[in-house]
Structure 1
Amino acid sequence: MARLTKKKKEAVAKIEKDKLYSLEEASALIKEITNTKFDSSVDIAVRLGVDPRKANQMVRGVVSLPHGTGKDMKVLALVTPDKEEEAKEAGADYVGLDEYLDKIKGGWTDVDVIVTMPSVMGKLGPLGRVLGPRGLMPNPKTGTVTMDVAKAVSEVKAGKIDFKVDKTGIVHAAIGKASFSADKIAGNANELIQTLIKLKPTTAKGTYVKSIHMSSTMSPSVAVNPKIG
């Protein structure tokens, strides 16, 4: 078993064992126990009472974090020439089509989100092996396949993220940075949790939100009271 560093021990000592913190308390505590020299990401893990193997219990969606992600999201807009200017003005970092499709075929995936148009999706199909494992394949359900390219790019830049329950029933998401105020971290976390609650499958039985844990890069996790309205 790995030995805890002095800073890690100090951080663990500040977390009350078996206590379920409120979002506000957890957010303040995360800031207190984060000791990295860089601006750590703050992450949340929500365990849901669903069986992801069943199609009617798959939880997937998007949420616009009210205080943004704290990260400069790199956006690639794969669009036809008539949409290029629109995508550039909305803030897309890379804009084009065939040249970027060729780069992706060669293994280039140095972006966070890809936005495209319905008419282009046919060209992206063969690239599923490259984009799928990295979570970069555009999807109409997440708003990244649309004719309103400018809106999609702007939303991603402003803090819109997509999420999907994994095979163990957990939704993981980055909800900000340790440099955010505790209020902003809590606000972003609450927005994600409320969105998840609205997406509860009708076929899910028993407790839906089973547990919630927050952590920052390299920090211990803090248990949050899952009974959030």
Structure 2
Amino acid sequence: MSKDSRQYKEAKRAVEPGRLYSAPEAVRLIKSMQTAKFDETVEVHIKLGVNPRHADQQVRGTLMLPFGTGKSVRVAVFAKGEKASEAEEAGAEIVGAEDLAQKVQDGFLDFDAAIATPDMMGVVGKLGRILGPRGLMPNPKAGTVTFEVGKAVKDMKAGKVEYRTDKFGVVHLIIGKKSFDEEALSGNYREVMDEIVRAKPAAAKGKYLR
């Protein structure tokens, strides 16, 4: 059994057991910790009072992080003709149609987000078992099935993120990198929380934010 690293032990000691930290306090605490030599990703995990097994209690959507994610996002677009050209001009790294679908079938998954035009969903839909579990399946509700591929690509690269509850009713979201200043991390956190509150399902009963 591996032992905890010195950095982990120091970080653990910095957190008071049982204490509820405010968002600004939590951000300052994160910024004060020295735990890795690379620029770590900062995430927020929100437990909601919903039952995701019921369709009317699922929480899902997209939002734009005002300070971005700090990540370089590789975007794949399933499109043809003018829409393929539009995607390339907007900065999509990977663009194709049936040929791209075949590459994915063969194991190619070197991208972080996928967008498809509606007319390509007959082809892309067959990739559900591959893309779905990885959170890469284009979806109309997330704005990733659209003819406005140029805008969708630019939004993805500017900090648009998708969220949904997992089977335990928890939403997991990136809010930036540790190198972000406190204002940026706090600003992204506030935007996430505002969005999650706005997305509360009408069918959710009792305490929503756990």
Which has the larger displacement, 91-100 or 192-201? 91-100
Q: Distance in 2 between matches of 1:187 and 1:15?
A: 22
Q: Unmatched 5+ residue regions in structure 2?
A: none
Q: State the shift of 1:106 in Å.
A: 0.5
Computed over aligned residues only, the root mean square deviation of the Cα atoms, in angstroms, reads 1.2
Corresponding position: 1:140 with 2:126: no
Map of 2:6 onto structure 1: 6
Amino acid paired to 1:129 = R
Instruction: Give the equivalent residue in structure 2 for 1:198.
Output: 198
Contact residue 34 and residue 40 of structure 1 kept, 8 A: no
- Deviation at residue 102 of structure 1 after TM alignment: 1.1
Give me the whole-angstrom Cα distance separating, in 2, the residues matched to 1:202 and 1:60.
Answer: 13
Which residue in 1 is equivalent to 2:184? 184
TM-score by length of structure 1 reads 0.88
Q: How far apart, in 1, do the equivalents of 2:84 and 2:123 lie? A: 17
Query: Residues 60-112 of structure 1, C-alpha deviation per residue, up to 9 Å, x if partnerless?
Result: 01010001110000001111111122111211111121221110110111111
* CA displacement at 1:9 relative to structure 2: 1.9
Structure 1 runs not aligned, ≥5 long: 211-229
State the alpha-carbon separation in 2 of the partners of residues 147 and 40 from structure 1. Answer: 35
- What is residue 127 of structure 1 aligned with on the other side? 127
Following TM superposition, by how much is the alpha carbon of 1:5 offset from its aligned partner in structure 2, in angstroms? 2.6
CA contact 1:76–1:92 (8 Å) conserved in 2 = yes
Deviation at 1:6, TM superposition (A): 2.3
Q: What residue identity is the alignment partner of 1:35?
A: T
Q: Which residue of 2 aligns with 1:79?
A: 79
d(CA) in 2 for partners of 1:84 and 1:175? 30
Contact 2:98 2:123 in 1 (8 A): no
Count of aligned pairs between the two proteins = 210
Query: How many angstroms apart in 2 are the aligned matches of 1:20 and 1:152?
Result: 38
> Which residue is 1:54 aligned to?
54
**In 2, distance between residues paired with 1:87 and 1:127?**
20
User: Which residue of structure 2 lines up, in the alignment, with residue 96 of structure 1?
Assistant: 96
Name the aligned partner's letter for residue 202 of structure 1. Answer: A
Matches within 5 A, 1:33-44: 33-44=33-44
- Normalising by structure 2, we get a TM-score of 0.96
Cα offset, 1:50, TM superposition:
0.4
Separation in 2, partners of 1:3, 1:101: 44
